[in-house]
Amino acid sequence: MRVCKRGKREIIMRFARWLLWSTLIISCASTAREPALSADYETVFAGLAMGCIHQEYSNKIAHYMNDEGDLKPPRELYPAFYGCFDWHSSVHGHWLLVRLLNTTANLADRNVIEEKLNQSFSAENIVGELANYQRPGMKSFERPYGIAWLLQLTAELRQSPSPKAKTWLNNLLPLERQAVANISEWLPKLTHPIRTGEHSQTAFAFGLMLDWSRIAGDAVFESLLQRRIKALYLADTNCPLSYEPSGQDFLSPCMAQADLMRRVMTQSEFSQWLTAFFPTLAEGTGNDWLIPAVVTDKSDGKLAHLDGLNTSRAWMLEGIMSALPSDDARLAPLRRAAEAHRQSGLNAVLGDMHYMGSHWLGSFATYLQTQRGLSL
């Protein structure tokens, strides 16, 4: 009787997965008329960032106040990064623009973009940012997500051939040094990884920070970060993908961890580790192994996170694939999942958008489309 019940339950679960996947296919077919990714996608993505980096309101402040003197409007609190709804989105909106300057030779509005970056990265503005960051109680400010994007921004500036980028980087260096010092103090105290699908997740942030350390040539920070990554994540097995996503995720805890671990292992080590981490992933794995999420209300900032989840899953899957041998049987299901998530994620950016998505999704689309995680 117990076996019978178990068999019936398994049949029901399989049918539910099939039904969900079939619904997704129908949904994709019905949205086939949505804008396809054009050769000029850079203009679309750049326009999203230019439209918000100097838009002060609406604004969501994550701010620690010591007294009434700390109660100020966003532009005064964060002279460089007051736009795009919140500090971290402003930071990666600026990163988006620098990234496209670096990767697109004939980028439209290049002069306009450079003027906007000049305005943001003035020495005076960065002094103001640093003064705010050094106030009492601010060591955990935007940790780890926003700080990871700040380091990604300065990493991008380091790789730019533009003389203007060198000036912007020099202005940002004091803020970068303070950020690295704060994270370096925090890392040894962190006794457990943070496995959420939102801003506090450590796996995604550690990946960006590790990339920065290698571009910046900071061997001390790289060594510290690698030790903590392995201590926190190396022993993990059988990641519960069936529990993903949560309703307002924009990062996958499981995929982000795998994308992180390929950065600190040899190909052979990572391949073996991945077998234990995703034991159900094999050559015959079906399309229901990882299904893109669907946003039901783009005006709801939290529900709209799922558009970002699809995009970040796509680049994480591509990162995982890049670390496996070319004849690995798992590449086929990984590739199918990556393409499904890529299509869903980019359609969200190129289709109708609400400010709750447009203030940040362009950065995720740019990270995916320019393969930033694969091109250090």
137: exposed, middle or buried (C-beta count within 10 Å: 0-12, 13-18, 19+)? exposed
Q: Is the pTM of this model over 0.85?
A: yes
Q: What pLDDT does residue 18 have?
A: 40
Res 34 pLDDT > 60: no
Average pLDDT of 172-192?
Answer: 98
Please provide the distance, in angstroms rounded to a whole number, between the alpha carbons at the two ends of the chain: 57
Q: Which amino acid type is present at position 368?
A: L
Cα 241 to Cα 237, 244, 246: the distances in Å are 11, 5, 11
Please tell me the predicted confidence (pLDDT) of residue 37. 58
Cα torsion through 237, 242, 246, 247, rounded to 10: 170
Give the type of residue at 259.
D
Question: Using one digit for the tens of pLDDT, what is the confidence trace for 329-357?
Answer: 999 999 999 999 999 999 999 887 899 99
Q: Rounded distance, CA 194 to CA 366, Å?
A: 25
Residue 38, pLDDT score: 57
CA-to-CA dists, residue 47 to 23, 39, 86, 348, 353, angstroms: 33, 15, 18, 15, 13
Boundaries of every domain in the chain: 38-189, 230-376
pLDDT in tens, 205-243: 999 999 999 999 999 999 999 999 999 999 999 999 999
CB 298, CB 353: distance < 8 Å: yes
pLDDT at 374: 96
With CA atoms as reference, report the closest residue to 188 among 141, 223, 148. 223
User: Considering only 17-31, 61-75, 98-112, which range has the smallest mean pLDDT?
Assistant: 17-31
CA distance 366 to 311: 10
Helix (H) / strand (E) element for 67: namely: none
Contacts of residue 356, Cβ cutoff 8 Å, sequence gap at least 6: 85, 298, 299, 300, 301, 304
Residue with the bigger pLDDT between 223 and 41: it is 223
CA-based nearest residue to 345, from 246, 337, 202: 337
pLDDT of residue 301: 96
pLDDT of residue 283: 84
Average pLDDT over residues 121-141: 97
Question: Which of 122-136, 148-162, 339-353 has the least mean pLDDT?
Answer: 339-353
| Model confidence pLDDT, tens digit, residues 66-94 | 999 999 999 999 999 999 999 999 999 99
